[in-house]
Structure 1
């Protein structure tokens, strides 16, 4: 969450509250959706690990290691060391929710293998975004201290905007991975026609968390722009 020295007296703080409400709802929604279908076993009793393995082998990918990681909904694919990390409720579970989450991460591995452009672009953005995120607040504070120096303030806002750019680029990466996952689990018979709607709901709920994050960051950025535009006019 991005806070500023104007936390208690700017008229646009409500934008942060709206963003917080959106992200909290998205987090609750994905957890409740996952938990609902985590109790619904698949017809063929395939675990999340086995589903991911089948998908990767079908795509001709044999250099990715599938391993278990601690936590809940902490699943991720790491392109740097070619590891597909599945959380404890996914790795050994044969539920529809577990299978689809594992398939989604396998979708990221396929993107990596096929050099999917948005994914490659996102990876290149990471160091730039991290640098900008660390620099944005100090620049804005310094700009305020130096009698509202607009050059420093605008530079800080621009650095913060890099976070929004990263999250926007993330959206097609995540939606594409989910589309690949749903196609694969259906084509390979990992889930059947009756189970497909449940799997789609799980992955859609997960995708909404990325949309919510982008919306929240946009509202924070809008607040900064409006706040300092007002100060500039005054």
Structure 2
């Protein structure tokens, strides 16, 4: 059966990395959320200033939750979570600057972001239907269903792979702007980098998990 198979061993490294990444991001965010920046600027003010200086006309809004920060390319809105909006900490400013990076990417037609946005519908379908199709194909001995499921899951995997350069570039841009405009000192930038690096690790873990699961599906399909 799919759920009880030796190939599950392939998922163990990804699971361990995912747990470690979650620990790192929570630990780093918690640590630097307690360190106020010397400039004492609120995260949303830093975000608005970055957007103004980069000539990106995007509003900054508050959204409920913790670490729910995101840039909405469809509605052209940058949303900061309750743990970031109104805060002057190094962590809050780092996260706000990172989301600004996505807004700048969108404004400048950054290709990996455009590609990721374009494949969202297919990726969503792949995430929801791939495993049920594979299972149905295995149960009813219908190889075509298994193959369709694998193809759909490949689209979801491709989405996670494309996400990596998008996130890395946004973090690189954020740190560069924070340094250039002196929103954070050199010592504070070290903390900001730790927060963003920890967040990036979660995407690496997600990509590894997706790739290992795809490999698992392929191995299972070849044995049937």
State the TM-score, normalizing by the size of structure 2.
Answer: 0.95
Paired with 2:129 and 2:67, the residues of 1 have a C-alpha distance of: 30
Pairing partner for 2:83 from 86, 89, 98: 89
Alignment partners' CA distance in 2, 1:137 and 1:182: 39
Whole-Å separation in 2 of the counterparts to 1:198 and 1:135: 41
Residues 195-229 of structure 1, C-alpha deviations (whole Å, 9 max, x = no match):
11111111111111100000011111111112222
User: 1:146 matched to which residue of 2?
Assistant: 140
* Counterpart residue number, 1:26: 21
Shift of 1:141: 2.4
Partner residue of 2:71 out of 67, 77, 100: 77
The unaligned stretches of length 5 or more in structure 2 are none
CA distance in 2, matches of 1:213, 1:135: 18
* 2:154 corresponds to: 161
| Deviation of 1:99 (Å) | 0.3
* Aligned-residue RMSD, C-alpha: 1.3
Q: What does residue 124 of structure 2 align with?
A: 130
State the distance in 2 between where 1:162 and 1:42 align: 41
- 8 Å Cα contact 1:118-1:169 kept in structure 2: yes
Residue 71 of structure 1 aligns to a residue in which SS? coil
- The whole-number CA distance in structure 2 between the counterparts of 1:76 and 1:183 is 19
Tell me how far apart the structure 2 counterparts of residues 6 and 131 of structure 1 sit (CA, whole Å). 20
**Residues 80-121 of structure 1: per-residue CA shift (max 9 Å, x gap):** 111111011111111111101000001100011111111001
Q: What's the CA shift for 1:46? A: 0.6
Could you tell me whether the CA contact under 8 Å between 2:129 and 2:152 is conserved in 1? yes
Task: State the match for 1:118 in structure 2.
Answer: 112
CA separation in 2, counterparts of 1:201 and 1:132?
33
Tell me, what secondary structure is at the counterpart of 2:119?
A: helix
Residue 61 of structure 2 corresponds to 67
- Can you list the C-alpha shifts for 1:33-91, whole angstroms capped at 9, x where unaligned? 111111111111011101101100110123x1111111111100001111111011111
Structure 1 residues not aligned, in runs of 5+: none
Q: 1:220 is matched with which residue?
A: 213
Q: Secondary structure at the match of 1:195?
A: helix
- For 1:48, the equivalent position in structure 2 comes to 43
TM-score by length of 1: 0.92
- How far does residue 145 in structure 1 lie from its aligned partner after superposition? 2.9
Structure 1 SS opposite 2:18: helix
| Structure 2 Cα separation of the partners of residues 212 and 145 of structure 1 | 30
Q: Does 1:193 align with 2:189?
A: no
C-alpha separation in 2, matches of 1:196 and 1:206: 15
How many residues were matched structurally?
224
